[in-house]
């Protein structure tokens, strides 16, 4: 029965399957394709959402096809559904009956016999005509074919209108990490050109596309092309950065890529979050602008100024090289937190190699003020305008300057050795007695003299040596030299006549020398300590500033470095000071103690108190007095609260030292007084001529001025070159013009000076003309003629000058006579001073100079007495020169360094510069300066020089 | 309708409430607490007095209610309290808030201005920054050392302080708020900054200690080349603290210094150098030289006098006068006088306690002085005289030192032997001579040179040190021990004193010896 039923239904459905199966499959395929194309077009937008939507669409198409297939199979498994699909529209009644009959067969719940039900079903199925099924199939086929046509049309339309879009959509859809898997070409006719940065001064160049190129950083790379597909957002990309292509105005597009780093550049099309790259990249290697390379000759090295006292300067020879160009080169000095830059060279930015040199003296202020190691480097700056100028640095030459007070400590050690030697010499002399007879006596005298010579040699070595730049002060050297001469004189007496008395003379002189050396040592130590302390006070200030910096910035490394540097300098200074006697020991210990306080604060990160402690140290060092001492006591007793005595150690100068200082001060005063006396003479001799003399001279002078101009008229006004006779001739004419003006202004002295200059120029012109005889024509004759005329005028001016001087001397005679007494007194003072030679142990050179000064001053006084002002002036100058020589021999310490403690009579502290109306001395000085500066052979600048002098002294 | 009984009750109820209401109105009308404190007046004065009396708890209590008030007088007193308690940083913070130029300390006896107080506070903060403090809680002593190596003398400081306080309590009835604060500074500049004494004045008179701001500020013995009698100085300054507290800082300078001079040696056993040179002799010489100053015209401080000689004479004057006053008055006069000064001026107090005024006392004292035989004062004390050949003696001594330093002891002796006369009483010369003799292996002669204190004019650390050393090497501990004690009281950081040797190494093992070794001053003739 079942088989019959199946055959019946197959018979009915066969026409349907034959007509519908194929169209339906095609329609489903087109449906899936349509969904796919739609999805790809949506995916092309490139955003995450659209790509999800695209996938959804693709899935939806597939799903629909699947559902349809599933439904078909379901229909085919149910005879009732098959019947309904085949004939329900054409024969609904018959189909309905047949379906009921099917239920009777399937259910049989009402007790109906199966055979009867099957029979009934067969009858009902038979009632359904095959034509009805054919009609239904035909209708379905039509519908399916129509749908397929529509879908195909849509797909074709999408693909034909933008087939590349579908491809891009697929590429975009498959993108991973923003990059599509399949590269596509977007630009045709690609071109690439590079324009280096302006500062390189290079031309733009074309480069092959898709090749490897090397270009300087800062180059602007231009990539041009013609778009293959319109409407794409094209860009040039290195995978990180994108520069969009823009219309180049000629149908193409261009992107300009500044090269900052090495990159692989590709053309990309951007679709939302996804790019589709072109297949071939352009590899661009960026060539960075390297920092300049600086080499410093003999670097790195260390120069220890203390160890090598012979170093006076440090040669700095450098070479700077840059790949593109140098802008400037500096010498950089660094010490601790201090830095100083000095420009060695400024360049145009195109020079790629520069060599140079510089001589840095060890006396340079920066080195002198530095007590921490000084790093010397040469640094060169390039011209990089893209990433900014870069400094290239050489390796350093490190200068280790002496610690504060170290040279002085070395000097002190040498003087101590001298003192020890003198002590031993004294002991040797004290322990010996003059033997009563030869040969012991001869041996004694020989040994005595040898000992004195050795002392002298030792003294000479000590005073001649430089101690890391410090020397024994000239005044002290002169003082010790004088004392040594006293020993030598006593020694000579022993050699001549050995006796207990002469030997005692040597012992006394040796004692005196030892005491003088000892007192000088103490005084010098004290003075050096004060100097070192003041220098260290600035370092302590720096330490305090570092602590303050640390306090504000919560202990930055820079502040720590600054404090460490200051600490090192202070520790070194303290060590040096401790070797400078009692005051030095006292202050050196204080520095150590206060540094411990600062260190305590730093260790506890208590920078506030560290700063206060450093400020305390600075304040203390600015008052480099002994820690304790009373100034107003005359005895040794001490009360409880009053010390009652100075505690400054043995600083008081010895009597010999005091006498020597007194003599030096007397000499200073004598030289100053004599200079004043010279000013008085100048003033006396500059008595103006009478009105009648002036009128007479002026009339004559005007006529001679005209003659001077007339005489030099044949000379050229402008020279044809520095080595031509015309140049010399023009100079002669200029001098002659000055002479003429001087005559008109009533100044014969200036006229003579200028006239002689003119004659000199004419002589040079004549020699030059003789050498150029073939080209200079009759120049020699003209020059000779001019010279002859001018010589006469100069002689006339000289006569006038001599007459005027003579008349001035006659008028000044009474005043000169008065001044002669003053000059004589000064000569007496010089004599008295020279006579103190033995008593005060003045150096021979000083005594000899004083003798000569006395003689010259007496001669000047005699000349004044007889009214010979010019002679008096010459002698006075000689005397002054001798006095200055005597000062040199004594050493100019008093004037240069100020008085030491215990000095008297020389005011200390602030000294006002006397004003113009203060008193006569300064006024005389002014006049001398004015005369000196304003009356020289300054040619055309004479007036300007005079005004300058006036300005200086106003 | 209210019954009479009810009406009575109501009246009575109102009457009972009346006082309560009155008080409530009074409270509401009274200025708020802060407003009341705007006129601190008496509170500030009471606080100022309490500070002067070193009663810091009471001062704090007085000022506690006023701290919230932005009153400059309160600020000054708070700053002063901080200064007295050693908190200089806080004093600076309080005073630097605004310009303190116009401020005065409230207490009538004070002459301190706000600007001065600020300067002193700043100086104090600077000097004491990052310094070390040693405390002995049991003894009630707190010592700040600017130089941490000075800590070696802390036990001596404590001992001196305790003994001096006991002596002052015994003699003057002084009481002591604890701890007693002492600051050892390294130099005169720090002393000046801490106390307000002008630096130049400190240098001129050679001031070594100041008692001010409730603290003794004293110079480290190492500040002086050969030390100074720092333990007596400490006792002297503690006396000032006691007198200031007892008299409410109203004691005149002559009384302050006179009492301090008396008490500076009473804390210890008498020394052979006490009373030398005799104050009376110095006064007599000072009168001759016209260096004497009337007692009531000594100025603000002896340290402000124009020279050390003037200060020496002034000290002698007040010492002699107060000693005279004490000798002529019943026991306890000084204590009663200090007490009287709390409530009345000096003239009144003197008359109240002794029945005589200052003029009468001065006349009696001067009369007594003139009747005394003129004591011979060694020219070594200066005061217008100078030993003959002093310059020559100095040169000889120096030559001897240099020769000794180079190992020529016998020749050094020849030099020192040529020094004769008064100058040989100079203890430093005796010390040198003993050193020379010792180097020449003449220990017996050396000991004889320093044995008799009467042979020198004044006490000196090196003199005591070599005396002790020579006694020790002779096995005479009875002489050696007190000698070293005296030496340490002058010059504790000398190796000879603290290590009891002059050898570069070895000697006693003590903190003081270690500190002296670190100090490492050059020996004679090697400086």
What is the ipTM for the molecules in this complex?
0.87
Which residues on A lie below 8 Å from B395 (Cβ)? 511, 515, 654
Which residues on A lie below 8 Å from B380 (Cβ)? 635-637
pLDDT at residue B18 in the model:
36
pLDDT at residue A644 in the model:
38
Angle at B434 between CA B431 and CA B440, to 5 degrees: 145
Residue from A762, A686, A677 nearest A725 by CA? A762
CB A562 within 8 A of CB A546: yes
Q: Which residues of chain A have pLDDT under 70?
A: 1-4, 107-112, 309, 337, 554-555, 630-654, 719-723, 774-776, 837-841, 892-954
Tokens of A295: 């080499």
Residue A604 CA to residue A137 CA, distance in Å, equals 103
Q: What crossing angle do the helices spanning A779-835 and A869-890 adopt, rounded to 10°?
A: 60
Q: What region, left, alpha or beta, does residue A251 occupy, with left being phi > 0 and alpha being psi -120 to 50 degrees? A: left
CB A187 within 8 A of CB A227: yes
Residue from B240, B217, B248, B244 nearest B48 by CA? B248
pLDDT over threshold 60, residue B496: yes
CB A834 within 8 A of CB A847: yes
CB nearest A632 (choices: B236, B308, B457): B308
Which helix or strand (DSSP H or E) is residue B143 part of? strand B141-145
CB A863 within 8 A of CB A809: no
Q: Which domains does chain B have, with CATH numbers?
A: 42-128 (no CATH), 132-376 (1.10.390), 390-519 (1.25.40.10)
Overall average pLDDT of the B408-414 stretch? 95
Question: Contact A635/B381, CB-based, under 8 Å?
Answer: yes
> What would the pLDDT profile of B124-146 be if each residue is shown by its tens digit?
999 999 999 999 999 999 999 99
Count of beta carbons in the 10 Å neighbourhood of residue B374: 12
Residue B372, phi then psi, degrees to nearest 5: -75, 145
CB nearest B308 (choices: A633, A650, A654): A633
Question: Contact B187/A518, CB-based, under 8 Å?
Answer: no
Q: What crossing angle do the helices spanning B42-52 and B56-64 adopt, rounded to 10°?
A: 160
CB nearest A593 (choices: B186, B199, B309): B186
Question: Contact A596/B148, CB-based, under 8 Å?
Answer: yes
**Which residue of chain B comes nearest to A512, CA vs CA?**
B395
Tokens of A532: 């070192």
| Most B-contacting residue of A526, A533, A575, A635 (CB-CB within 10 A), to test interface | A635
Residue A315 CA to residue A787 CA, distance in Å, equals 53
What DSSP string runs through B339-394?
HHHTTS-HHHHHHHHHSS-HHHHHHHHHHHHHHSPPPP--GGG-TT---TTHHHHH
Count of beta carbons in the 10 Å neighbourhood of residue A573: 26
Tokens of A584: 């030095």
For chain A, the residue count is 954
Give B425's DSSP letter: G
Which class would CATH give A175-287?
mainly beta
pLDDT over threshold 90, residue B326: yes
CATH fold match for the domains A175-287 and A293-400: yes
Q: Is the dihedral angle over the CA atoms A625, A630, A633, A637 positive or is it negative?
A: negative
Question: Contact B187/A597, CB-based, under 8 Å?
Answer: no
pLDDT at residue A906 in the model:
35
pLDDT at residue A292 in the model:
93
Architecture of the CATH domain A293-400? Sandwich (2.60)
Question: Contact B399/A642, CB-based, under 8 Å?
Answer: no
> What would the pLDDT profile of A686-706 be if each residue is shown by its tens digit?
777 777 777 778 888 889 999
| Most A-contacting residue of B132, B225, B432, B440 (CB-CB within 10 A), to test interface | B225
Residue appearing with tokens 């796919």: A36
HSE-CB of A19 using CA atoms within 13 angstroms = 17
pLDDT at residue B13 in the model:
42
Taking the alpha carbons at both ends of chain B, their separation in whole angstroms is: 116
Residue A451 CA to residue A443 CA, distance in Å, equals 12
Q: Is the dihedral angle over the CA atoms A768, A772, A775, A776 positive or is it negative?
A: positive
Q: Which residue has the higher pLDDT, A901 or B486?
A: B486
Residue B399 CA to residue A430 CA, distance in Å, equals 12
Q: What crossing angle do the helices spanning A406-430 and A440-464 adopt, rounded to 10°?
A: 170
3-state secondary structure B181-228: EEEEECCHHHHHHHHCCCHHHHHHHCECEEEECCEEEEECHHHCCCCC
Q: How many helices (H) and strands (E) does chain A have?
A: 27, 20
Q: What region, left, alpha or beta, does residue A468 occupy, with left being phi > 0 and alpha being psi -120 to 50 degrees? A: left
CB A369 within 8 A of CB A436: no
Overall average pLDDT of the B21-36 stretch? 34
Question: Contact B206/A629, CB-based, under 8 Å?
Answer: yes
Overall average pLDDT of the B146-157 stretch? 96
B/e letters for A877-893, b = 16+ CB within 10 Å, e = fewer, are: ebbbebbbbbbebbbbb
Chain-centroid distance, C-alpha A519: 47
Which residues on A lie below 8 Å from B126 (Cβ)? 612-613, 615-616, 619
pLDDT at residue B37 in the model:
36
Question: Contact A647/B264, CB-based, under 8 Å?
Answer: no
Domain boundaries along the sequence of chain A: 2-167, 175-287, 293-400, 406-511, 527-622, 907-954
Kindly list the distances between the CA atom of residue A520 and the CA atoms of A253, A398, A416, A575, B412, in Å, as whole numbers in the listed order.
92, 36, 11, 22, 21
Residues A297, A302, A305, A308: what is their CA dihedral angle, to the nearest 10 degrees?
A: -80
**Which residue of chain B comes nearest to A583, CA vs CA?**
B225
Closest CA–CA distance from residue B495 to any residue of chain A (Å): 16
Overall average pLDDT of the B446-458 stretch? 93
> What would the pLDDT profile of B188-239 be if each residue is shown by its tens digit?
999 999 988 888 888 887 889 999 999 999 999 999 888 999 999 999 999 9
**Which residue of chain A comes nearest to B277, CA vs CA?**
A637
What DSSP string runs through A529-577?
HHHHHHHHHHHHHHHHHHHHHHHHTTS-HHHHHHHHHHHHHHHHHHHHH
In the three-class reduction of DSSP (H, G, I as helix; E, B as strand; rest coil), residue A496 is classed as helix
**Which residue of chain A comes nearest to B387, CA vs CA?**
A635
Overall average pLDDT of the B110-122 stretch? 78
CB nearest A518 (choices: B386, B402, B411): B402
Question: Contact A612/B277, CB-based, under 8 Å?
Answer: no
H helix runs in A128-236, sequence order: 130-161, 163-173
Count of beta carbons in the 10 Å neighbourhood of residue B498: 27
Closest CA–CA distance from residue B112 to any residue of chain A (Å): 22
CB B237 within 8 A of CB B218: yes
């Amino acid at each position: 029965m079942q088989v019959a039923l199946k055959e019946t239904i197959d018979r009915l459905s066969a026409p349907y399957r034959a007509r519908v199966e194929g169209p339906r499959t095609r329609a489903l395929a087109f449906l899936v394709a349509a969904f796919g194309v739609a999805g790809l077009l949506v995916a092309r937008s490139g955003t995450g959402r659209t790509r999800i939507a695209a996938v959804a669409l693709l899935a939806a198409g597939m799903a629909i096809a699947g559902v349809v297939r599933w439904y078909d199979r379901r229909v085919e498994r149910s005879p009732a559904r098959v019947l309904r699909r085949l004939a329900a529209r054409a024969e609904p009644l018959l189909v309905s009956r047949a379906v009921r009959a099917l239920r009777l067969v399937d259910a049989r719940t009402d007790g109906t016999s199966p055979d009867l039900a099957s029979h009934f079903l067969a009858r009902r199925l038979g009632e359904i005509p095959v034509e009805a099924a054919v009609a239904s199939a035909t209708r379905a086929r039509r519908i399916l074919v129509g749908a397929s046509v529509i879908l195909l049309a849509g797909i074709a339309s999408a693909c034909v209108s933008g087939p590349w879009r579908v491809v891009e959509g697929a590429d975009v859809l498959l993108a991973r990490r923003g990059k599509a898997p399949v590269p596509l070409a977007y630009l045709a006719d690609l071109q690439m050109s590079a324009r280096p940065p302006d500062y390189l001064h290079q031309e733009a160049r074309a480069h092959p596309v898709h090749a490897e190129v090397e270009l300087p950083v800062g180059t602007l790379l231009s990539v041009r092309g013609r778009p293959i597909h319109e409407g794409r957002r094209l860009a040039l990309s290195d995978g990180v950065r994108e520069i969009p292509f823009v219309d180049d105005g000629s149908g193409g597009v261009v992107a300009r890529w500044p090269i900052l780093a090495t990159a692989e550049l590709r053309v990309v099309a951007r679709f939302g979050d996804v790019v589709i790259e072109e297949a071939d990249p352009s590899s661009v290697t960026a060539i960075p602008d390297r920092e300049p390379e600086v080499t410093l000759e003999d670097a790195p090295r260390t120069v220890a100024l203390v160890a090598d006292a012979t170093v006076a300067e440090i040669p700095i020879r450098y070479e700077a090289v840059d790949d593109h160009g140098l802008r400037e080169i500096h010498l950089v000095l660094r010490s601790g937190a201090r830095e100083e830059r000095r420009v060695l060279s400024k360049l145009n930015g195109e020079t790629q190699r520069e060599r140079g040199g510089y001589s840095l003296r060890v006396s340079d202020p920066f080195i002198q003020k530095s007590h921490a190691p000084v790093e010397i480097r040469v640094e060169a700056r390039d011209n990089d305008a893209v990433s900014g100028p870069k400094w290239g640095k050489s390796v350093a030459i490190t200068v280790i300057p002496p610690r504060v007070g170290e040279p002085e400590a070395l000097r002190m050690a040498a003087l101590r050795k001298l003192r020890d030697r003198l002590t031993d010499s004294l002991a040797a002399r004290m322990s010996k007695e003059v033997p009563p007879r030869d040969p012991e006596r001869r041996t004694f005298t020989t040994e005595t003299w040898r000992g004195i010579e050795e002392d002298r040699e030792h003294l000479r070595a000590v005073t001649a040596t430089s101690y890391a730049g410090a020397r024994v002060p000239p005044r002290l050297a002169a003082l010790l030299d004088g004392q040594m001469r006293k020993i030598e004189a006593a020694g000579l007496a022993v050699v001549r006549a050995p006796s207990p008395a002469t030997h005692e003379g040597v012992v006394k002189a040796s004692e005196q020398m030892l005491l003088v050396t000892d007192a000088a040592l103490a005084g010098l130590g004290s003075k050096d300590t004060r100097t070192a302390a003041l220098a260290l006070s600035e370092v302590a200030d720096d330490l305090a500033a570092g602590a303050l910096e640390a306090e504000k910035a919560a202990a930055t490394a820079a502040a720590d470095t600054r404090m460490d540097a200051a600490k090192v300098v202070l520790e070194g200074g303290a060590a040096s000071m401790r070797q400078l006697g009692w005051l030095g020991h006292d202050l050196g210990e204080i520095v150590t103690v206060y540094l411990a306080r600062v260190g305590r604060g730093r260790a506890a990160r208590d920078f506030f108190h560290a700063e206060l402690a450093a400020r305390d140290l600075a304040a203390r060092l600015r008052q480099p007095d002994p820690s304790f001492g009373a100034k107003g006591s005359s005895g040794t007793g001490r009360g409880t609260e009053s010390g009652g005595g100075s505690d400054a150690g043995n600083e008081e100068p010895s009597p010999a030292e005091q006498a020597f200082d007194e003599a030096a001060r007397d000499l200073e005063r004598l030289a100053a007084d004599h200079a004043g006396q010279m000013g008085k003479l100048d003033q006396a001799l500059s008595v103006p001529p009478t009105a009648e003399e002036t009128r007479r001279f002026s009339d004559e002078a005007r006529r001679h001025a005209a003659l001077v101009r007339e005489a030099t008229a044949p000379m050229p006004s402008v020279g044809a070159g520095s080595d031509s006779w015309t140049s010399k001739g023009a100079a002669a004419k200029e001098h002659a013009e000055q002479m003429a003006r001087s005559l008109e202004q009533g100044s014969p002295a200036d006229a003579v000076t200028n006239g002689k200059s003119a004659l000199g120029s004419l002589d040079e012109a004549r020699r030059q003309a003789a050498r150029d005889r073939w080209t200079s024509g009759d120049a020699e004759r003209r020059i000779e003629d001019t010279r002859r005329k001018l010589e006469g005028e100069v002689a006339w001016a000289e006569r006038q000058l001599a007459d005027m001087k003579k008349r001035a001397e006659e008028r000044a005679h009474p005043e000169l006579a008065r001044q002669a007494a003053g000059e004589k007194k000064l000569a007496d003072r010089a004599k008295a001073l020279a006579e103190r030679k033995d008593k005060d142990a003045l150096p021979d050179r000083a005594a000899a100079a004083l003798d000569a000064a006395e003689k010259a001053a007496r001669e000047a006084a005699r000349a004044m007495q007889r009214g010979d002002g010019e002679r008096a002036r010459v002698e006075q100058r000689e005397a002054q020169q001798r006095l200055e020589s005597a000062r040199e021999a004594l050493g100019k310490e008093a004037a240069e360094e100020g008085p030491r403690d215990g000095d008297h009579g020389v005011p200390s502290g602030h000294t006002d510069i006397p004003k113009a109306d203060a008193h006569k001395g300064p006024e005389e000085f002014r006049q001398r300066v004015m005369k000196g500066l304003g009356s020289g052979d300054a040619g055309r600048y004479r007036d300007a020089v005079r005004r300058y002098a006036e300005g200086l002294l106003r | 309708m209210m019954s009479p009984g009810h009406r009575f009750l109501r009246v009575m109820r109102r009457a009972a409430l009346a006082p309560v209401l009155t008080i409530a109105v009074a409270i509401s009308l009274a200025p708020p607490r802060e407003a009341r404190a705007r006129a601190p007046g008496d509170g500030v004065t009471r606080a100022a007095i309490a500070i002067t009396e070193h009663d810091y708890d009471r001062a704090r209590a007085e000022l506690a209610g006023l701290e919230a008030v932005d009153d400059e007088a309160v600020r000054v007193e708070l700053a002063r309290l901080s200064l007295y308690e050693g908190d200089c940083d806080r004093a600076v913070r309080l005073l630097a808030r605004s310009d303190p130029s116009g401020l005065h300390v409230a207490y009538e006896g004070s002459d301190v201005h706000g600007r001065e107080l600020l300067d002193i506070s700043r100086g104090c903060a600077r000097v004491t920054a990052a310094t070390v403090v040693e405390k002995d809680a049991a003894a009630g002593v707190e010592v700040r050392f600017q130089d941490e190596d000075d800590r070696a003398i802390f036990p001596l400081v404590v001992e001196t302080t305790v003994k001096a306080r006991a002596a002052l309590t015994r003699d003057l009835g002084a009481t002591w708020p604890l701890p007693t604060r002492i600051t050892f500074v390294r130099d005169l500049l720090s002393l000046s900054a801490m106390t307000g004494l002008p630096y130049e004045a400190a240098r001129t008179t050679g001031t070594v200690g100041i008692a001010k701001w409730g603290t003794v500020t004293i110079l480290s013995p190492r500040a002086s080349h050969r030390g100074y009698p720092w333990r007596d100085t400490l006792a002297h300054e503690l006396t000032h603290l006691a007198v200031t507290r007892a008299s409410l800082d109203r004691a005149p300078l002559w009384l302050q210094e006179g009492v301090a001079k008396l008490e500076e040696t009473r804390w210890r056993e008498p020394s052979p150098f006490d009373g030398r040179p005799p104050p009376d002799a110095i006064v007599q010489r000072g009168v001759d030289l016209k260096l004497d100053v009337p007692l009531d015209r000594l100025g603000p401080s002896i340290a402000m006098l124009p020279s050390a000689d003037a200060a020496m004479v002034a000290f002698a004057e007040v010492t002699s006068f107060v000693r005279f006053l004490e000798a002529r008055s019943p026991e306890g006069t000084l204590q009663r006088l200090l007490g009287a000064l709390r409530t009345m001026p000096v003239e009144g107090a003197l008359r109240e306690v002794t029945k005589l005024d200052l003029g009468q006392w001065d006349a009696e004292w001067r009369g007594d002085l003139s009747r005394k035989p003129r004591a011979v004062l060694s020219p070594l004390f200066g005061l217008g005289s100078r030993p003959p050949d002093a310059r020559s003696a100095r040169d000889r001594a120096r030559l001897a030192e240099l020769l000794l330093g180079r190992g020529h002891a016998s020749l050094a002796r020849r030099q020192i032997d040529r020094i004769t006369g008064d100058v040989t009483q100079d203890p430093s010369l005796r010390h040198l001579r003993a050193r020379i003799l010792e180097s020449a292996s003449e220990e017996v002669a050396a000991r004889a040179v320093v044995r008799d204190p009467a042979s020198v004019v004044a006490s000196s650390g090196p003199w005591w040190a070599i005396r002790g050393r020579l006694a020790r090497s002779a096995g005479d501990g009875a002489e050696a021990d007190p000698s070293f004690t005296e030496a340490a009281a002058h010059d504790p950081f000398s190796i000879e004193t603290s290590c009891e040797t002059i050898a570069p190494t070895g000697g006693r093992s003590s903190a003081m010896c270690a500190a002296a070794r670190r100090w490492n001053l050059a020996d004679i003739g090697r400086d």
